[in-house]
Amino acid sequence: MEEHLSLLIHRSDIEQTVSRIAHQISEDYEGRQLLVVGILKGAFIFMADLIRQISIPIEVDFVTVSSYGSGTSSSRRIRLMQDMTMPVKDKDVLIIEDIVDSGYTLNYVIQHAKDIGARSVAVCALASKPSRRETPVEVSYLGFTVPDKFIVGYGLDFDNKFRYLPDIYALESGDE
């Protein structure tokens, strides 16, 4: 399969959006004990840029979950591969996700944070693909709504490729 990349979101638009979201999070959580939890691996670049611009004290943690394997669609079987290591009980948790697709992974992580005692749980996502949603999920802070295409770059990958790209692209097969 030959792969072609088509630019969807330029890095300057990503930078402006990250700044806007960080400012809103800082305002909304002023005076609260915020634990920011990134979903690995896809969210790490977005999360790193985001937390450098948040102006309030935060704690940082990560979870690793999987629902894709090496394919382009969710298997709907969520596996918690690495749990949070920070105490969650009675904290406000902000989950950072790269892209909200079917909603299954995010709903799993939200419920898990609630089950282990989070005071509140909110979601911040770089991108959302609402046309693919199979289960409802509330995103409090959203960067971009994207079309029903497989997207890569800025941390998003296909089979662990293309994460390094500073812009966001649609990945198109040469077979199409």
Q: Of 101, 148, 159, 167, which residue is the catalytic one?
A: 101
Residue 101 designated active-site: yes
Residue 174: predicted pLDDT: 57
Q: Where are the alpha helices (DSSP H) in 34-172?
A: 44-53, 104-115
pTM attached to this predicted model:
0.90
Q: How far apart (Å, rounded) are the C-alpha atoms in residues 79 and 70? A: 14
Architecture of domain 12-25+33-69+77-147: 3-Layer(aba) Sandwich (3.40)
Upstream peptide bond of 91 is cis (omega within 30 degrees of 0): no
pLDDT of residue 176 exceeding 50: no
92 against 175, higher pLDDT: 92
pLDDT band with cut points at 50, 70 and 90 for residue 175: low
